[in-house]
Amino acid sequence: MKHKLLSIFIILISAVMFANGGKDKKQTSTEEFPFRNSSLPMNERIADLISRLTLEEKISQLLYDSEAIPRLDIPYYNWWGECLHGVARFGKATVFPQAIGLAATFDDDLIQRVASAISDEARAKFNAAKKLNNEGRYISLTFWTPNINIFRDARWGRGQETYGEDPFLTSYIGKAFVKGIQGDHPKYLKAASCAKHFVVHSGPEGIRHSFNATPSKKDFYETYLPAFESLVTEANVEGVMCAYNRTYDDPCCGSSFLMQDILRDQWKFDGYIVSDCWAIHDFYNYHKVNKDVVESASRALLAGVNVNCGTSFRSLPEAVENGSVSENDIDNALSQLLKTRFRLGLFDPESEVPFNSISPDVVCSEEHQLLAREAAQKSVVLLKNKNNVLPLDKKSKNLFVLGPNAADVDVLLGNYNGVSENIVTVLEGIFGKIDAGTNMQYRKAFLLERQHDNEAGWVIGEAKYSDAVIVVMGLSPLLEGEEGESISSVNRGDRVDIGLPEHQIAYLKQMRENLEQPIIAVIMGGSPIAMPEVQELADAVLFAWYPGEQGGNGVADILFGDVNPSGRLPLTFPKSVDQLPPFEDYSMKNRTYRYMTDEPLYTFGFGLSFTKFEYSDLVLDKTEINSSGMINCKATITNVGDYDGEEVVQFYIKDVEASVDAPLSSLRGIKRVSINKGESVTVEFTITPAMLYLIDNNGNKILEPGEFKIIIGGSSPGNRSIELGAAKHLEAAFMLSE
C-alpha cells in the first residue's frame, strides 16, 4: 500500500512539472511574469498583469484600499495619501505653512523646493513603513493634493487649503507644487500628485453632498477650469479628484462631460481619476440621480472614475452580472489606474527605483526646518506699519505678549497636517529673540471664541509698563475648515460672518483706550477677515495665516527685523460680509479683485515692506500686436527706503474694449526680486496673444482686436492699495490688431 501511494504521489508531481514545462519553483515565481519585467513597455506589462486577474481581483484593485493578491506577490496598496503642506496624518513630518500661506509667498521656486522636500519625506516614510510591514490609510505615495479650487467666497472653511482667488496665481503655485512632488526623473515618479476637486467646488460645506453648481459658461471656462487645465497640460499632474457636488446637474464623479470630454479628450489627461471619498454614495443618497449603489457605481465607472475612495465599487460584480458594465469596462478602468503604480516603480526591482534609497534622516531634518522657516517668513503679510513701529528693538527693556493664539499649536498646523517635534509657537519665537535683560511678560488675556466672565482687565494695567504690546489673535482651524473637522464651528466649518469674534475686537478697543504704547496685532487665520477695527486700532498689523511648525520663528524674524516682510495677499479682504454675494451663488459678479467693484479693506496682491519701492520707466518695445506677435516690456523698481528687501512685482492686463463683461484686470505675470537699499533692478515681461483671449458668454475662447492696458505694481490695480502704503502702479496701453 505504501509503495502504491508513493507511486501515485510521484505521478502527480511529474504531471505538475510537465504542466509547468518542467520548471522548478524558482522558475515559476512571479519574477518570471512579463508584468515584473521592467524592460518591457508599460502597456504590455499592464496587459499581462490584468490577464492574470479574476474579475473579483480586478475590482478589488479599483478600491482605494486595494487588496493584496498573494498568488501574484502583489502587496496591499492604499491610494489615500495627504500632503497639503507636509506629509499628513502619517506620523511625524515637517509641517510647512498652510496652503493659503504658501500662496501668499507668490514664489514658485520656493513652492517647488517645499514640495520636493515633502515628497522626499513621503518616500522616506513609505520606505520605512515597508520595513515595519506597516500598511493602511495615509501610508501611500499617491497624494490627493493640491486643492486648486478657486477661493471665491471668504466664508468657505476649506478655502485655507487653496491657493487663493485667482486662476493665474493658483496655476502658478499649483504647477510648482506638482513638479516638486512628482520630481523630474525620466521614468519614475517620486510621488504622485492629484488636482482636486474637479470642478466648480468651493462651498458651502453643509450642502456639498447635494449641491448643484450652475455657473455661467463664461465663469466656468474663465475662472473655474484654467488651473486644472494648467496642471494637466503643463505640469502633467498624475491624478485628478472629482468633487462631491453636481455641476450642470450631473454629479461630478458621474459626469462624462467633465471626465471624458474635458479631461481625457480635450486635455489628453493620461493619469488616474479618483472619486472624493464616498462621493459615489451621494449619487443615490443625496443627489437622488440613481436608485441604488449598483447603478451609481456603474455610472461612475463608465463616466471615467478609476479608483473609488469609498466602498461603492464593491457592487461592480453585480453590475457586470446585470449587464450595466462589462468586464472590458473594468479592464479599461484598471489599465489606466495601474499606470500610476508602475510609474511609481511599485512593480520594479527596488534597486532600479532611485527613490527607494531615501532614508528616514530627511524627515524633520534641519534642512527642512530651515525651509519651513523660510516659507513662514515669506508668507507673512505686513498690512500696516504706522510710524514704522516695526521692526522692534531686541534691546527693548519691556515687552508684553498677550492673546489666545500666542502659545497655541493648532493655529500653526492648519488642517490636513502632520506633526513635528520642532513646533515653535509665536510666543516661543518672540522669547527666542529678546535680550536676557529684557523684561517680557505673557498673558492669554482673553479666549479665542467667546468672552469669559473674568475679563482680566488687569492685564492691560500691567501692559502699561511695556515699550510695546504684541497681541496674537484671529481665528483657528477649530473655527474654520472642512465639514466635521472644525469642532467649534457652528456652520460645518464655514463662517456665517467673516469678522473677528466680537469680544476680540472689544478687548483690542479696551487696550487702545488704556494704552499709549504701540500695539502690534498678529492675526492668524486661513481666510479673509473683515477687520477694519484692527486696521484702525493697531499700530502695526501682520497677517500670519496658519504658518507651520516654524511659524513662531518666522513671525518673530519679521517682528524684530531679521527678515523684511514680503508676503502678498492671495485674496481680497472685504470690509464686511455685506460686500459678498449669496454664498450659494457661483457667479463671479462682484467676486474677487477681477470683478468686485466695491472698495475692499485690503486688495489682492497687497503687502507692505519695511522699506519703500518705487516703480518707473515702463517701456514697451512696440505698441501694437497681432495674433502671432508679442510685445516685450520693461520696468525699473528702485528700493528708496532704509532696508534691503524683496518686492513681488505683479503684471496685470486689462481688456479695455471687450464685447462682453471682462475682468477689471487679470494677473498675467509675477517676478519676485531682491533689491538692496539704494539700488534698482529691471524686470521684464512678455505679452503674448495667449494672455489676451476673452471668454464670451457661451464659453468660447475668442481673440478680439482693440485696446488693452498693462499695469505693473506691487499689488492689484486700484487706489486702495496705494492709500494703504503700496507703491503707485505703472500703466501703458497697446493695441491688438486684426
- Say if CB 656 and CB 718 are below 8 A apart: no
Percentage of residues of the chain with pLDDT beyond 70: 95
pLDDT tens for each residue of 318-354: 999 999 999 999 999 999 999 999 999 999 999 999 9
From residue 331, how far is each of 51, 199, 303, 403 by CA, in Å?
9, 26, 14, 58
Q: How far apart are CA 652 and CA 668, in angstroms?
A: 5
597, amino acid identity: T
pLDDT digits (tens, 9 = 90+) for 199-233: 999 999 999 999 999 999 999 999 999 999 999 99
**What is the 3 state secondary structure string of 613-636?**
EEEEEEEECCCEECCCCCEEEEEE
Q: What is the pLDDT of residue 450?
A: 75
Where would I find the H helices in 242-308?
A: 256, 279-285, 293-303
Q: What's 586's DSSP letter? A: -
Residue 104 CA to residue 107 CA, distance in Å, equals: 8
Could you count the other beta carbons within 10 Å of the beta carbon of residue 97?
32
Instruction: Confirm if 202 and 208 have CB atoms less than 8 A apart.
Output: no
CA angle 170, 176, 182 (to 5 degrees): 125
Please give the Cα distance from 196 to 416 (Å, whole number).
14
User: Domains of the chain (ranges plus CATH)?
Assistant: 1-32 (no CATH), 42-92+141-152+164-362 (3.20.20.300), 372-595 (3.40.50.1700), 613-736 (2.60.40.10)
Q: For 520, which DSSP code? A: E
Q: Specify the DSSP element, H or E, that contains 431.
A: helix 426-431
DSSP state of 72: G
Per-residue pLDDT band for 274 (boundaries 50, 70, 90) equals very high
- In whole angstroms, what is the distance from residue 195 CA to residue 213 CA? 19
Q: What sign for the dihedral angle of Cα 228, 577, 379, 614?
A: positive
Q: What is the DSSP letter of 98?
A: P
- Which position among 374, 480, 483, 655 bears the catalytic label? 480
At 495-547, the pLDDT tens digits run 999 999 999 999 999 999 999 999 999 999 999 999 999 999 999 999 999 99
Residues composing the chain: 738
Give 345-388 pLDDT, tens digit per residue. 999 999 999 999 999 999 999 999 999 999 999 999 999 999 99
pLDDT band for 719, please (50, 70, 90 cuts): very high
CB atoms within 10 A of CB 140: 26
* CA distance linking residue 484 with residue 491, whole number of Å: 10
CA-nearest of 340, 334, 285, 329 to 307 is 334
- Cβ atoms of 648 and 566 within 8 Å: the answer is yes
Q: Which three cell numbers stand for residue 310?
A: 469609498
- pLDDT tens sequence across 300-312: 999 999 999 999 9
* DSSP per residue, 143-186: B---B------TT-GGGGGS--S-HHHHHHHHHHHHHHHH---S
Q: What are phi and psi of 593, to 5 degrees?
A: -60, -20
594, 667 contact by CB (below 8 A): no
Distances (CA, A) of 103 to 112, 240, 600: 12, 20, 20
Q: Is the peptide bond before 186 cis (omega within 30 degrees of 0)?
A: no
d(CA 215, CA 205) in angstroms, rounded, equals 18
Cell numbers placing 93: 513630518
Spatial CA neighbour of 669 closest among 628, 622, 711: 711
Backbone angles phi, psi at 196, to 5 degrees: -140, 160
Report the pLDDT value the prediction gives residue 452, as an integer from 0 to 100.
60
CB atoms within 10 A of CB 349: 11
Tell me which of 107, 222, 238, 276 is the catalytic residue.
Answer: 276
The CA distance from 368 to 473, in Å, is 27
For 416, the grid coordinates are: 490636513
Cell of 726: 503700496
How confident is the model over 17-76, as pLDDT tens digits? 333 433 333 334 677 899 999 999 999 999 999 999 999 999 999 999 999 999 999 999
Question: If residue 242 lies in a helix (H) or strand (E), which one and from where to where?
Answer: strand 239-242
Q: Across the strands, what pairs with 384?
A: 541
Tens-place pLDDT, residues 639-686: 999 999 999 999 999 999 999 999 999 999 999 999 999 999 999 999
pLDDT for position 1: 46
pLDDT at 150 over 60: yes
Helix (H) or strand (E) holding 31, with range, is none
Predicted structure pTM score: 0.95
Task: Please state, rounded to an integer, the average pLDDT across all residues of the chain.
Answer: 94
* CB contact set of 649 (below 8 Å; sequence gap of 6+): 635, 637, 670, 671, 672, 673, 683, 712, 713, 714
The DSSP-derived string for 642-692 is SS-EEEEEEEEEEESS-SS---S-EEEEEEEEEE-TT-EEEEEEEE-GGGS
Residues 114-137 as b or e (16 or more Cβ within 10 Å = b): bbbbbbbbbbbbbbbbeeeeeeee
Question: Does residue 480 carry a catalytic annotation?
Answer: yes
Of 654, 653, 662, 656, nearest to 697 by C-alpha is 662
153 catalytic, yes or no?
Answer: no
CB atoms within 10 A of CB 27: 11
Burial of 321 per CB tally in 10 Å (0-12, 13-18, 19+): exposed
Does position 14 have pLDDT exceeding 50, yes or no? no
> Could you tell me which residues are beta bridge partners of residue 142?
192
Of 98, 250, 116, nearest to 163 by C-alpha is 98
Asked whether residue 296 carries a pLDDT value surpassing 50, the answer given is: yes
- Mapped onto helix, strand or coil, the DSSP state of residue 640 is coil
What does the alpha-carbon distance between residue 533 and residue 536 come to, in Å, rounded to a whole number?
5
Q: Would you give the end-to-end CA distance of the chain in angstroms? A: 99
Query: What local confidence, expressed as pLDDT, does residue 458 receive?
Result: 74
571-620 pLDDT tens trace: 999 999 999 999 999 999 999 999 999 999 999 999 999 999 999 999 99
Measuring CA to CA, which residue among 611, 531, 615 is closest to residue 565?
Answer: 611
Q: Out of 44-48, 420-424, 457-461, which region has the weakest mean confidence (pLDDT)? A: 457-461
Pairing state between β 398-402 and 468-474: parallel
